[in-house]
Amino acid sequence: MTSSCLSVSLSLTMCAVSIDDIEAVRSGRQSEGLQKHTDSIVEELCFSIIFKDRRKTLDLMANSAEDASRWVSGLNKVITNMRSLSRQKTSEHWIFNCMRKADKNKDNKMTLKELKHFLHQINIQVDDTYAEMLFTKCDESNSGTLEGSEIKHFYELLTSREEINVIYGKYAQTEGLMSAANLLNFLLNEQRESVSMEHALKLIEKYELDETAKQRKHMTKDGFLMYLHQEEGLIFNPAHKEVYQDMSQPLNHYFISSSHNTYLMEDQLKGPSSTEAYIRALMKSCRCVELDCWDGPNGEPVIYHGYTLTSKILFKDVIKAIKEYSFKTSEYPVIISLENHCTVEQQKVMAAHMSSILGDALLKQPLGDQMPTNFPSPEELKGRFLVKGKRLNKLDTAFNNNSAVEDDSVSEEDEAADSKENGQKPKDKKSKMKLAKELSELVVYCKSVHFSGFEHARDSHAFYEMASFKEGKALSLADTSATAYVHHNMDKLSRIYPAGSRTDSSNYNPVPLWNAGCQIVALNFQTPCKEMDLNQARFLPNGMSGYVLKPDFQRDPSSQFDPKSLQKGPWLRKQRLHIMVISAQQLPKLNKDKCTSIVDPLVRVEIYGVPADVATKETHHIENNGFNPMWNENFQFEVNVPELAMVRFVLEDYDSTSQNDRIGQYCLPFTSLQRGYRHVPLLTKRGDIIPSAGLFVHVMVVDAE
């Protein structure tokens, strides 16, 4: 394809695609389509555009390596610039884009008819009288159209926020402006931040737009609004955006972001398998990925959901993708969880591929020069790959000369046996499978064993021997034996996986398993749902590293923590959460094809955690206003175990005759909440930021005792 052809192809394609819809631009033959249909000789000519939704990847090939490089760097620059826009700039970009669409004859003027069309575009339903009044007020020239300064006046009227005017007016006590002392007063009394005058001055320097005000150490209302839209004004504590927890604890002391059936893009009956699914999970800081391995043609193992119509991908291609993308968003270790159905011959190929592709990053021996008695830490395992699977012998054989094994078979009493749910007959629990010595030796700290009870595990299993629990079994143990489960997870790792009956790749509620201290709670990352929202929230803090340190009471051997029976203990830190849902801004239209379709938004606030803390409250709905709805409703929640609690905000389009449609949501740990007046970003079903939209709330937390 020539450079000119590329330009036309991309222009034709991109005319219907917003830059916001692009997930990534990748150089080379990284997509399955390019790998299948092109030769390695054109590697430097190829690149791919990956979309956020389920649209197919756009594969392109330039005339020269230089042209390809220019396209990739150019597109990445545009994407980076768009993502680095302040929320204020993003909002303005969105509004002016809607104005351009409403300007049908492209004359840079706005008629009354075009204004009405524009108001529908931005999700406001107004009657003709109000639209005419607004138009007449701005049409100072009486020309019958708005242009130039008149459009600017209209924009200012439209975007004026009464709630911000009230807050700013209360604290702007210096000639109608906010002095540094006024701002500090606001930060201390409203935002409940322990900050100094130096911090207030830094905010003025950083966000004030008016140079005269900045020189006088004052903050205008525009500067104040800019501050509220930046990370300092968001509900999520910016200090938690970095790795801030102790990463030197044993591996089993952390919740670990984990994926099930990682190879699937959709359902587990006939959905496509793809290396892209691994890339997407890893780029979301997933630290435990699953590989269902089966014998493939030409001696090459393949990955797919056995005995189904899901497509197959090469094992070695998956390992290459894991190698390439594991540490782009987090430097902490990745666990490769093998569900092994292969013959010994192809197991040897698996071992060879992992060793050659992952190289020294693959952990093949325990750390140190003597047999460990506990897990190493995420810090010690930075940049390393751990294999989870069956092992023929004990780990201490790695420290003696006799590595021979008496039996080359292992029990199939694990997920590989339990997960034969698609019409095939489950194997006998005592059945054996042959295991290649080469693959066995790659299993170090995550040896799969069968669970026969907490007492048996305590007496018979070493720390590195871990069980996988089907969701039903795990939820039952968490319900009936939570304290014993918590103690089991103080010594060992537990992996939970969805029941095979979830053929649509739906998910179970992970919260009760985290309450019981389970670390590897594996979910179907490919399925957008409330459970994945909670998972992304759990791993939002600590630099989105995929590792979150469990609370002390889930790590202390003397702890008697039971999430269902909250007796007195260090976990019981009762707090009262007050949330005022004030307003929302620029909510997206759900039915973009219908100009007259305007959302009727409501807000639901949900608390997740131990059973006593689970609660839901919601506002009334506001008719025909998705641009600047205002509720001013107060909610109160009692939170008993804040270290395990999460807060979720959900915006829905109210419908009296059918189920409400979701507009957006945002979820975060209770311990990451910032107090005071805060903006809440909103995410799509797939977890992407809705660029211009947001929720505005006030948060207060007080001790309940």
pLDDT tens digits along 119-155:
877 777 766 777 788 888 888 899 988 888 888 888 7
Tell whether residue 290 is among the known ligand binding residues.
yes
User: Does residue 380 or residue 161 have the better pLDDT?
Assistant: 380
Q: Which of 241-245, 345-349, 360-364, 401-405 has the lowest mean pLDDT?
A: 401-405
Residue 401 confidence (pLDDT) = 62
Contacts of 139 (CB under 8 A, 6+ apart): 145, 146, 150
Average pLDDT over residues 305-331: 92
pLDDT tens digits along 622-647:
998 888 999 999 999 999 999 999 99
Distance CA 84, CA 78 (A): 10
Select which of 120, 218, 260, 698 is catalytic: 260
End-to-end CA distance of the chain: 71
Per this entry, what is the length of the chain?
A: 705
3-state secondary structure of 352: helix
Give the pLDDT band (50/70/90) at residue 504.
confident
Distance CA 697, CA 46 (A): 47
Residue 191 confidence (pLDDT) = 96
Tell whether residue 600 is among the known ligand binding residues.
yes
Select which of 120, 218, 229, 305 is catalytic: 305
**Which CATH architecture is the domain 162-233 placed in?**
Orthogonal Bundle (1.10)
The highest-level CATH class for domain 3-84 is: mainly beta
Residue 260 falls in the annotated catalytic set: yes
In the numeric block, which tokens belong to residue 96? 């002016």
The answer to whether 493 and 463 are in contact (CB under 8 A) is no
Nearest to 584 by CA among 665, 463, 517, 508: 665
pLDDT value at 1 more than 90: no
The answer to whether 178 and 172 are in contact (CB under 8 A) is yes
The answer to whether 235 and 669 are in contact (CB under 8 A) is no
CATH number for 575-703: choose from 2.60.40.10, 2.60.40.150, 1.10.287.70, 1.10.167.10: 2.60.40.150
pLDDT tens digits along 407-438:
677 776 654 445 444 444 455 556 788 999 99
Q: Yes or no: is domain 251-395+409-554 CATH 3.20.20.190? A: yes
DSSP string, 269-312: TTPPB-HHHHHHHHHTT--EEEEEEE--GGG--EES-TTSS---
3-state secondary structure of 468: strand
Output the CA–CA distances (angstroms, integers) from residue 578 to 311, 491, 637, in the order listed.
49, 38, 7
Distance CA 601, CA 238 (A): 28
Residue 554 confidence (pLDDT) = 97
Residue 273 confidence (pLDDT) = 87
Nearest to 555 by CA among 643, 647, 465: 643
The answer to whether 508 and 292 are in contact (CB under 8 A) is no
Tell whether residue 654 is among the known ligand binding residues.
yes
Residue 126 confidence (pLDDT) = 67
Average pLDDT over residues 383-404: 84
Tell whether residue 624 is among the known ligand binding residues.
yes
Whole-number mean pLDDT of the chain? 89
For the full predicted model, state whether its pTM sits above 0.85: yes
Residue 684 confidence (pLDDT) = 92
Tell whether residue 390 is among the known ligand binding residues.
yes
Tell whether residue 495 is among the known ligand binding residues.
yes
**Domain-wise residue ranges, the chain:** 3-84, 88-159, 162-233, 251-395+409-554, 575-703
Average pLDDT over residues 496-522: 94
Q: Yes or no: is domain 88-159 CATH 1.10.238.10? A: yes
Give the pLDDT band (50/70/90) at residue 16.
low
Residue that is written with structure tokens 């970003």 in the block: 681
Tell whether residue 339 is among the known ligand binding residues.
yes
The answer to whether 536 and 667 are in contact (CB under 8 A) is yes
Residue 305 falls in the annotated catalytic set: yes
Average pLDDT over residues 368-387: 95
Residue 403, number of CB atoms within 10 A of its CB: 12
Domain 251-395+409-554 identical in fold to domain 575-703:
no
Average pLDDT over residues 54-77: 88
Q: Which of 140-149, 186-195, 282-291 has the lowest mean pLDDT?
A: 140-149
